[in-house]
Structure 1
Amino acid sequence: MVDPNEGSSLNFIPATVVNGVKHANITHKDVTPEIGYWQMAVICSVLSSIPSLDVIEGFLRRIWQSYSIDKINLGLDRLSKLGSTLGIPIKTDRYTKEKRMVKYARLLIDMALDAPCSNFINFINDQEVVIRVLVSCEWKLVKCIHCKMFGHLESDYREKNKTKLVWKPVQHKELAQTIPTQAEKAEGISQQAALCSIAEHMDVPWCVLGDFNSALYLGDRIGGNDIQDFEIKPFADCINTYELQELRYLGLYFT
């Protein structure tokens, strides 16, 4: 960030509009103060190092001690005109003021939040030639054109492609089939066969209700002859094969 206590103050100078594009008008009067300096400037090339201007100044002073190296005065009017094409110029930084960074000038410019930050500045020199200078914004506020908010681009808008979840009740198809109940043991076997036939085509949760006239465990019969394994095996195999579970009856037993 530009330090307002170390830079030079700038002024707003209205730009010239040509075909809807702002142009800074740089006159001969604006460049005259710099002409005398650059006529006496020393141009050197340093290889394998990037020394600061203080180091170069010290080197030159040791060689030409009888000559004083003048401080470089920056053309503030020119910077004010250039900055006014983007917004209201406020300050330069210290290095721009002292012209220690000759590659570019660094300005603090007051701009509207929704104002576009151009990547270049056009100015008309004293020869009436339009020159384009590249601009780099250190802090460029971005705006999402989708939600009209600042701080992110449309490509980063999280709500744009967000999937909205809607609870939709599951429609279960109810299946019911009645098998006639018979008291005879032989008929009970046919019921088991019918139950197995239904289970082979069942792919949803299901419940089986009824009297199958068949014991499932050896201790299911109270009184009478003991239950033999061959009596419960067919029904038990059917229950196990189709993963059914018995809900045990609680209370009194009636026979």
Structure 2
Amino acid sequence: MVRRKKTAQKPGLRSSPIERSTVKNTHDRVEVQDEVREDLLKVVFADTVDDFPEVGEVHSLDSFASHGGARLNFEEPLVRDGKLIAQVDKEEIEVEASFWQSAMVCVVLGANPPLAMFEGFINRIWGKLGIERISRMNAGHTLVKFRDEATQDLVLESGVAHFDRKPVLLRPWSTDLDKMRLVKYVPVWIRLPDLGLQYWGLKSSSALISTIGKPMMMDKVTKDKSMVKFARVLVDVEISDHIPQCINFINELSQLMEQAIEYEWLPTRCSCCKNLGHTATSCKYTQEAVWKPKQKVADPNNGEPGGSTELCELGDEAGSKELPSSVAGKDA
């Protein structure tokens, strides 16, 4: 009788039922995840329920782009000191900047109304002039794009508009507009009474206005010199405790001259928190709420008096509230 030789099986070649079940479950989970991802993409890239791709439709970037998106391409970045640096297309930047050249940034001083409400206000006062687009920015700023720059200048020359008794600050959009300038600087119209006619040129006017802020534009009456009682100029001014009241300049005879300034409007500024749109008397950092006991009233059920506490209204007797560190640092 021939004995069969037993051969030892190499480890790892034979899998247990538990391992086979684990592999199968993992494969099933991957398939489920793929199906969920496809369904999610269908919802994300569909504008309406009718636009949802049918089940089994081929999902590709081209099909998603056809639903309103745009396909992007990989652009090789630069590598400097171990950092990846993107290279932007200057020609495309000029095209995009020209698209917003007739836009204007609006903000309601001291309020942040909903976009739908503010959009209705804009259409009511400027709708007949030709508005192409209204978009919400950050921090309550709204971007309004007009049909051309002439319409934008017309709106700026009209002065300060008011929304719910609050002034609406208007500022032309520009590529160098940053968040700090939106918060600290305010465009205001100023008048230069009895300004010598020899200083009404664009270069001379820009030199004079540059001593108090960033010159923005000259109104049409001043540019055409149809009224020479005063020059009217829009300037971006930093609102501080000391607003310039005159302009010092050296004239053509090398004499030091002084030109008076008249502000058509200036925003209120809180001396406590340094923010615009309110005064120190209404600042939330100057008053605090005080808890006082409520008047005791007898309980009609058992006749025993009960008491509770309520929040007292804000008043001058409440005292001053401690300022936050960010605000306190400004006064230090």
Query: TM-score normalised to the size of structure 2?
Result: 0.27
Structure with more strand by fraction: 2
> Bigger radius of gyration, 1 or 2?
1
Structure ranking higher on relative contact order (CA contacts 8 Å, 6+ apart): 1
